[in-house]
A and B are shown apart, each in its own frame.
Chain A
Amino acid sequence: DAGITQSPRHKVTETGTPVTLRCHQTENHRYMYWYRQDPGHGLRLIHYSYGVKDTDKGEVSDGYSVSRSKTEDFLLTLESATSSQTSVYFCAISDVDLNTEAFFGQGTRLTVV
C-alpha cells in the first residue's frame, strides 16, 4: 500500500471554526490532491499541488485553502467551517508519470455542527 496518512480520521467541529486536515506521504510523489466525497457526487477535487508551494484550485475550492511547504505534507484548511462542508475528505497522490493512477488515503470524516 502507498504510504499515505491522513489525520485526524474523524473530527466534529462547530460552525465558524477553522479546521485543518493533514495528509502525509512517504512515497515522494510530486502530485497531491484533496477530494471530498458526498453521496451522489462521487469524488470532487478541491485543490491540488504539483510541487512544494505550487498549488491550484479544483472544481469545489470555495471555502478551502491549502498549503504545501514540504513534499510529504499537504494541508487542507477550512477557513470558517459550514455545515455544507460536512463530508468525507480524501487525500491522494500520484507520480509524475501521467500513466499512473492516484493512490488514496483512508479518508477523514468531518462533521460540522
Chain B
Amino acid sequence: AQSVTQLGSHVSVSEGALVLLRCNYSSSVPPYLFWYVQYPNQGLQLLLKYTTGATLVKGINGFEAEFKKSETSFHLTKPSAHMSDAAEYFCAVTNTGGFKTIFGAGTRLFVKA
C-alpha cells in the first residue's frame, strides 16, 4: 500500500526566506510524485510532478522538488518566499501500475511580512 506523510501541518516563514515543505512516501513500486497547491476556497492546482528521469523537478512559481529514492522523500523548496505563496500544499503519490492518487494531510504555509 502507498502512503504519504507530510511533516508539519503548519509552516511559517518570513518573506524572502527559504521555503521547505517536507514529504515522505512509501510505495512498493516506483512512484509518481506530485505537489499541489490550494488557495482559499479553490480546488487544487499542480505545482510540479516527478514521473521518471531527472530527480530535480522544477515547477511553477519558482518551486522545485527533489526525488530522493534512498530517503523516500520528495521535499518542496523555494529559495525566497513571497506573500502570495501563502496557501496549503499537498504532496501526493501514485504508482506506475495504477491511477489512484494518495494525498498527504497537507501543510499550510504562512508567510510573514
Task: Determine whether B49 belongs to the interface, using a CB cutoff of 8 Å to chain A.
Answer: yes
Closest CB-CB distance, A69 to chain B, in whole Å? 21
Q: Provided the pairs A42-B90, A90-B43, A107-B43 are in contact, do residues A98 and B96 lie with their beta carbons within 8 angstroms?
A: yes
CA distance A111 to B48 in the complex (A): 32
Which chain A residues lie closer than 8 Å to B106 at the CB level? 42
For A40-56 the 0/1 string (1 means CB < 8 A from B) is 11111100101000000
Q: Which of B43, B51, B90, B99 contacts A94 (CB 8 A)?
A: B99
Q: Which of B32, B49, B99, B104 contacts A42 (CB 8 A)?
A: B104
Q: Which of B43, B49, B102, B104 contacts A104 (CB 8 A)?
A: B43
Task: Determine whether B34 belongs to the interface, using a CB cutoff of 8 Å to chain A.
Answer: yes
Interface size bucket, B side? Answer: 20 to 34
Interface size bucket, A side? Answer: 20 to 34
Q: Is there an interface contact between B43 and A105, defined as CB atoms closer than 8 Å?
A: yes
Chain B contact residues, CB within 8 Å of chain A: 4, 6, 9, 32, 34, 36, 41-46, 49, 51, 90, 94, 96, 98-106
Chain A contact residues, CB within 8 Å of chain B: 4, 31, 33, 35, 40-45, 48, 50, 58, 90, 92, 94, 98-99, 101-107
